[in-house]
Amino acid sequence: MRQFAAIFATLAAVGSGALADAPRTIIVMDGSGSMWGQIDGRAKLEIARETVATVLSTLPAEQELGLLAYGHREKGNCSDIELIVPPAAGTGAEIAAQVAKMRFLGKTPLSQAVREAAEALRYGEEAATVVLVTDGLESCDADPCALGRELEASGLAFTAHVIGLGLSGAEGAEVACLATETGGQYLSASNAAGLAEALAATVAAKLPPPQPAPIPEPKPALPEASLTAPESAPAGSVLRVDFAGPHEEYDYIRILDTAGEWLAEASVEAEPFVEIRLPFVTGPHEVVYMLQSGEFLARRPLTLTEAPVSITAPDMAQVGTEVTIVWEGPDAAYDNIQLYRLSDDERITYDYLGDTNALTFTMPEEPGLYEFRYKFRDAEVIYTRPITVTLDKVDAAPVLDPAKGLSIVPVALSVPADFAGQPIQWSAEPLDPHPDAPEALAMPGAEVGPWTAELYPGRWRIYAEAPAGVTAGKGFGADIMVTDATGQMFEIPLTPMETMGMGEDTPDAASDPVPIRINGEYGGMMTRWQATPVSGQDSLVLGSDATPSGWKTALDPGRWLIEGFAQGGKGQLYAAVIEVAAGGPADITLPRTAGVSQTPAMLPQDELAEAHCVGEVACYHTDRTGAVRYLLLPDWAADTAIFYETAGGVAAETPSITFYHGVPFQVMAAFNPRQWDAMIGPCNDTPVGPLCAATEADPAAVALLLASLSKVEAEPATAPSVTLDTDGTAMTLDTPIDLPEGFDPVELFVPQLLSKE
């Protein structure tokens, strides 16, 4: 932060006589919402206010200064730019007062703000200086580099300086060109201790001794309050909280997460209790009694536990027919079941939950893969169930009685044709809990031909044994998914008995391939599998043909990206990263991919993420602006696609997307980047364009992007565009961390005052 104070202190360091010829200056202050971020435990806006007030109070009255701000009046408005104090002599105190009153809540139109400051200074007629203080990148589709070149070419003696407040090196490089193109400097302010040191060296000696701080009056004692509530409650349920307290208007009972963010609340009314609908999350939380002032009067811990949620539906249905599904879940207000087409993630129909736990839907007329989704409070998808809609006739499923649960279903089990004439003894073990299901089913003896077993819907592990000598050392076994449809038949393959849990199959060494079985959440669905090594192991990418009963393979120890593709579907139905090790799980079931968060996080450029994957599973997303589909691993995010334009107005054919990860978010990868330095990391081609990734990016996340990036049908709306410099050169800038030895502030702000040889 030494640079931040030094730049403003420069104005104080020049004597009043010398300032007679100094160029007029406008300070452009960032008023975006990200200024609430912290440096060394203090909000950046607080540091900016204090520094401006301290330094400007020492300026001579002759110095002509002005103040322009952006993002300080409205959220999400790129036109929120205001010249608050026109440039004039003796404005230091007024500027400090205006900065102290500024709000920080909007976007970052820094390029347009600098342009308006230059115009206010009549930069084409006389010398002018603009000092930009920003903690974020351009977020309004403008190119600061192109603006710098334009102002330099058309100005009489125009200079722009940029102070990057808390920006990383990579972020600073994106705005530094605005300064370097005009002969100015980019300075990084990233340390509060440095700011204090700079103030002591350049300003504090000139300040009058501070007045003793007034002794603060003691705060009045807070009223007492108490809370009574269970120690735990199921996610999504209604929690009753009894309380005692002041009972004032605007008092609230709130549910907080471990980060202190409130997730649910109820206002205090006449009754001495409230009922709060809990969020559908699990883990430790807290119940608090909160005053209007934000102070807590009472608090108690609350653990949210897992709650049952499911959708039971047939695997297949004929186009245009009616399908009855059975749901289980929180049954909150506005809960509904929605039917989506998976090929383009478009909602087909929906229905709100009723008095019973059964709903009837008419299947669409277009065959393909679809999905039922349970949407909690019409805001968050908490469960999904796929269904294949076909032109072929499908036998009607047995009637479901919501009051009694699911009925048993007759299922035909058989062995491969080579063993059809052999007597086989069968058994079945349920893998999903059911109140009426037995611990296991078994035939009393061996029989020739298929076995018709009466099973409840759900996952079952099937075993079959033939007479000794027929299948020496082997047996028949598979995990199957039984639905409520009639006419289900499963052929159980021959397999080594140890792979079905009947023995131990231990590799000879830690580096030997490990036998493993990959299953999908939806057993019985024809699925093609692929495994990609992502931890540097010298292994090939492996794959399988479509199979309904999982994929048995052997993988080298290490991390693997596993992808599953449903037959007839588009894109990955499953995508997950697994760790393979000797002695690890021999049977893994992958959950299906999910949609991205409906409440995405804020990106570094003060924009909401286009896509933000939250949870435990990979997320699919279609960017309609760029007509691109991709998958993200958990905790990754992406911005909205843009089509860059050249200076001649020619738009790029391929969109550009930036991908983020980390806390806080950092750029980890870029699809079709405008510029990319090979020192950052490698680039790889995809069928739709290049993907470049930083060396520190998770190889699994990069591999998933490489595998999933694909084109979709574009929306008719025009995508946003920005201007692109097409000289073909990469942007290389020096971004100083500390002021160099011998740095002269006069040379930065008023170079014309220096003697010329």
> What's the helix, strand, coil split of the chain in %, to 5?
15, 40, 45
DSSP 691-727: EEE-TTS-HHHHHHHHHH-EE-PPPSSPPPEEEE--S
Query: For residues 576 and 616, what is the distance between their CA atoms, to the nearest angstrom?
Result: 9
Lowest mean pLDDT among 373-382, 518-527, 675-684: 518-527
The string of pLDDT tens digits covering residues 82-97 is: 999 999 988 888 888 8
Query: For residues 119 and 158, what is the distance between their CA atoms, to the nearest angstrom?
Result: 11
Ramachandran category for residue 658: left, alpha or beta (phi over 0 → left; psi -120 to 50 → alpha):
beta
Q: What is the CATH number of domain 514-592?
A: 2.60.40.1120
Q: Is the pLDDT of residue 399 over 70?
A: no
Q: What is the pLDDT of residue 568?
A: 65
**578 forms bridges with which residues in the sheet?**
560
Question: Three-class SS of residue 586?
Answer: coil
Query: What's the DSSP call for residue 327?
Result: E
Sequence spans of domains, the chain: 2-206, 226-305, 310-390, 409-500, 514-592, 595-724
Sign of CA dihedral 673, 678, 681, 686: positive
Q: Burial of 355 by CB count in 10 Å (0-12 exposed, 13-18 middle, 19+ buried)? A: exposed
Q: What is the CATH number of domain 226-305?
A: 2.60.40.1220
Q: How many CA atoms lie within 13 A of 508 on its CB side?
A: 1
Crossing angle (nearest 10°) for helices 44-56 and 92-101: 170
Q: How many CA atoms lie within 13 A of 303 on its CB side?
A: 4
Question: pLDDT: is 402 or 665 the higher one?
Answer: 665
Q: Give the other-Cβ count within 10 Å of 483's Cβ.
A: 21
Question: Three-class SS of residue 643?
Answer: strand
Query: For residues 77 and 84, what is the distance between their CA atoms, to the nearest angstrom?
Result: 17
C-beta of residue 452 within 8 angstroms of C-beta of residue 528: no
Query: For residues 385 and 310, what is the distance between their CA atoms, to the nearest angstrom?
Result: 8
Question: Could you check whether the bond before residue 664 is cis, i.e. omega within 30 degrees of 0?
Answer: yes
Which amino acid is located at 746 in the chain? V
Identify the band that residue 477 occupies on the pLDDT scale cut at 50, 70 and 90. Answer: confident
Question: Three-class SS of residue 548?
Answer: coil
Q: Can you give the length of the chain in residues?
A: 757
Q: Is the pLDDT of residue 468 over 60?
A: no
pTM of the model: 0.33
Closest CA to 276 of 332, 336, 334: 332
Query: For residues 16 and 61, what is the distance between their CA atoms, to the nearest angstrom?
Result: 8
Question: pLDDT: is 705 or 446 the higher one?
Answer: 705
Q: How many helices, marked H, and strands, marked E, lie in the chain?
A: 9, 51
Query: For residues 117 and 704, what is the distance between their CA atoms, to the nearest angstrom?
Result: 45
CA of 189: how far to CAs of 5, 160, 597, 715, 740, in Å?
9, 17, 34, 42, 14
Q: Is the pLDDT of residue 509 over 50?
A: no
Lowest mean pLDDT among 267-276, 537-546, 553-562, 714-723: 714-723
CATH superfamily of 2-206: von Willebrand factor, type A domain (3.40.50.410)
310-390 topology per CATH: Immunoglobulin-like (2.60.40)
The string of pLDDT tens digits covering residues 302-315 is: 999 999 999 989 99
Closest CA to 369 of 397, 345, 352, 350: 345
Element housing 462 (H / E): strand 458-465
Class of 409-500 per CATH? mainly beta
The string of pLDDT tens digits covering residues 561-588 is: 899 888 766 678 899 889 888 878 888 9
Determine the average pLDDT of the residues in 190-197.
47
Q: Is the pLDDT of residue 496 over 60?
A: no
- The answer to whether 310-390 and 409-500 have equal CATH topology is yes
Question: pLDDT: is 670 or 514 the higher one?
Answer: 670
C-beta of residue 454 within 8 angstroms of C-beta of residue 486: no
Query: For residues 491 and 488, what is the distance between their CA atoms, to the nearest angstrom?
Result: 10
C-beta of residue 132 within 8 angstroms of C-beta of residue 161: yes
CA of 206: how far to CAs of 59, 60, 396, 712, in Å?
10, 12, 89, 64
Query: Could you tell me which residues come within 8 angstroms of residue 461 by beta carbon, excluding any fewer than 6 positions away?
Result: 428, 429, 431, 477, 478, 479, 500, 501
The string of pLDDT tens digits covering residues 583-636 is: 788 889 998 888 888 888 999 988 999 999 998 899 989 998 899 999 999 999
